[in-house]
A and B are shown apart, each in its own frame.
Chain A
């Protein structure tokens, strides 16, 4: 025992470990900062460590070339013992990291912890947030599957809209004029060298700032931050009621960090990694690419906004939003820190989060994308077949064969781009149905040139049967016929 102690003392003497401890995890923090609200930053760090360790392990197997990347992923998933688990840890680690860094930012914002003197801590934190998002995106690209391919296509399209530099930025990122052999190498370099390097450098500055400026004390309503007096006040608080970060103050961080670790381990074991959804091959048309969850909001926003807004958003709104994010400490300079005295901040957070979640939900549903296999793969439900005439049956086959189902669902089954057709006969008369099919309108193209008269008649006969049993079909007031198709109402 004595020898170990001697060795310890020798190391301490040479490395000054005791002083290092005093100035880092042993430094004194206000007792009020040892709160469950203050655990998200350290939990993000836990994720980063998991990502670094699992990332290095993955890099031992992963081949960053377009020809082999996908195959090496399949090797990890299906051949290598625990390869899938390693991928699961890295995948869920990234999900948790993005989520936790966001929660950390929201907490800092709501608690006004970015205010004097911690403006720079906030700004470096914003850069860390962007680096994390960059890691997430380049990581999604590493799968080099359909999601990755189309994700890159979208990002370079966004970059390409930037005036002046767009073309060069696109070329630089893709390693050429199109997404090709060089592109994956560029993203690999970004994912394992450039962004992690920047991230670790920024993290060092971030932690240095936290140590130098101290962890903000728990906000108290009415207690003001006055730039002249704040530092003395803070030092006084630390002097009087301060506790050491370790071991007294950091217990909650340790517990929460362990819970995050456990959650990642469990998610990886029980849900597993994201299975690559087909090689990055633009000739595969039967594909439904979707970004990972952190980009669903952006995906939905661009899908839903009118085309004339896209360039405005890319060139002005998005850069402005980033500048605003960095400038938060200089815009919000009021002395209050407690959220109950800062309704504007609470409203801003609520609106932003609600918008992001709503857009992400829309992104999951993505009703704007036609279901390209619905015409041949989503059956006409038997209740829409029974009791119909042969003509209506022929119309139903036209509905399928002309791919109407890709955009129009029948009672929820099928594409969601156009209105659901179950019950369409109660909304449109026979004439209106014919006009809509022939001329289109709203978002619907005109099908007049693609349908023979027989086909239109049959299709409209089928559509005319799509009404609830106890609700008659819509009928033009000018028409005397009781049936839209000239034969007795189908049963």
Chain B
């Protein structure tokens, strides 16, 4: 009689243990409406990883996971870009107010989450020496003749070894004066790449480009020189 009782107890006990079985739905897998997703990882993977890469690097677009970029780009700046996109480039407007799908709260989560996930102390130290990510207001007008001339020289000094003597591509890197490329990148985009580089793809940042770091003015000059190759859209 006792073994039967034990067996019965075991069966009842195992029934209650059922609640920990693998078939039990995990509350984390519960369906969420797209506008209710609040997890940075999920938001980034769904909305950003296509162009910026799964780890924020090694994608075709700006390496938003580069610690130097994140040290330079304030969350407010990122929020503006995510919400409103970048006109003339492939960066779409993600804000609901601009016709996108993300709520202001989700954009804030993305903007602050990038830094929280990928920033580094080392990059912040380097960024302290860097010129601002955004060109100072009231500086030289991009495309101004004198500035373009200076930019040509800066280019020859810092960039020509990879992008070729005239910018049309060299041994190590492709053209940066192709009209179609310049038609799809903003001046700010050119400045960002010059400053931050594409370390994921082998391009050094402004600090490591040449014998010495590029001076703040030189970055503006070389951007102006590149931008001067823009052709009006046909």
Residues of A within 8 A of B (CB): 74, 77-78, 81-82, 84-85, 88, 145, 267-273, 275-279, 284, 286, 373-380, 382, 385-398, 400-402, 405, 452-455, 457-458, 461-462, 487-488, 490-491
With A401-B51, A488-B174 known, 6 other A-B pairs at CB within 8 A are A272-B22, A380-B50, A397-B61, A397-B184, A461-B180, A490-B174
Q: Known: A269-B23, A461-B180. Is A373-B46 also a contact (CB below 8 A)? A: yes
Q: For residue A273, which residues in chain B have a CB less than 8 angstroms away from its CB?
A: 23, 25
Question: What 1/0 flags go to B38-59 for Cβ under 8 Å of A?
Answer: 0000000111111101100011
Q: Known: A278-B33, A376-B51, A379-B53. Is A452-B59 also a contact (CB below 8 A)? A: no
Q: For residue A267, which residues in chain B have a CB less than 8 angstroms away from its CB?
A: 23
| Of A278, A374, A387, A394, the contact of B185 (CB 8 Å cutoff) | A394
Determine if B23 and A270 form an interchain contact, defined as CB atoms under 8 angstroms apart: yes
Q: Report the nearest B residue to A461, measured CB to CB.
A: B180
Roughly how many angstroms separate A168 CA and B124 CA in the complex, as a whole number? 70
Q: Report the nearest B residue to A85, measured CB to CB.
A: B18
Question: What 1/0 flags go to B10-36 for Cβ under 8 Å of A?
Answer: 000000001101111101011101100
| Of B30, B49, B50, the contact of A74 (CB 8 Å cutoff) | B30
Determine if A284 and B90 form an interchain contact, defined as CB atoms under 8 angstroms apart: no
Q: For residue B114, which residues in chain A have a CB less than 8 angstroms away from its CB?
A: none
Most B C-beta atoms less than 10 A away, residue of A78, A379, A405: A379
Determine if B21 and A398 form an interchain contact, defined as CB atoms under 8 angstroms apart: no
- Give how many B residues have a beta carbon under 8 Å from the other chain's beta carbons: 48
Q: Shortest beta-carbon distance, B215 to chain A, in Å?
A: 23
Q: For residue A461, which residues in chain B have a CB less than 8 angstroms away from its CB?
A: 180
Roughly how many angstroms separate A232 CA and B193 CA in the complex, as a whole number? 93
The verdict on B136 contacting chain A, using a C-beta distance below 8 Å, is no
| Of A81, A378, A394, the contact of B184 (CB 8 Å cutoff) | A394
| Of A278, A405, A458, A490, the contact of B181 (CB 8 Å cutoff) | A458
Residues of B within 8 A of A (CB): 18-19, 21-25, 27, 29-31, 33-34, 45-51, 53-54, 58-61, 89-92, 168-170, 172-176, 178-181, 183-185, 201, 233-234
Determine if B47 and A394 form an interchain contact, defined as CB atoms under 8 angstroms apart: no
Determine if B18 and A487 form an interchain contact, defined as CB atoms under 8 angstroms apart: no
Q: Shortest beta-carbon distance, B192 to chain A, in Å?
A: 13
| Of B31, B48, B233, the contact of A452 (CB 8 Å cutoff) | B233
Q: For residue A397, which residues in chain B have a CB less than 8 angstroms away from its CB?
A: 51, 60-61, 89-91, 184
Determine if A389 and B183 form an interchain contact, defined as CB atoms under 8 angstroms apart: no
Q: Shortest beta-carbon distance, B174 to chain A, in Å?
A: 2
Q: For residue B59, which residues in chain A have a CB less than 8 angstroms away from its CB?
A: 379-380, 382, 385
Determine if A81 and B19 form an interchain contact, defined as CB atoms under 8 angstroms apart: yes
| Of A88, A380, A394, the contact of B23 (CB 8 Å cutoff) | A88
Most A C-beta atoms less than 10 A away, residue of B18, B89, B181: B181
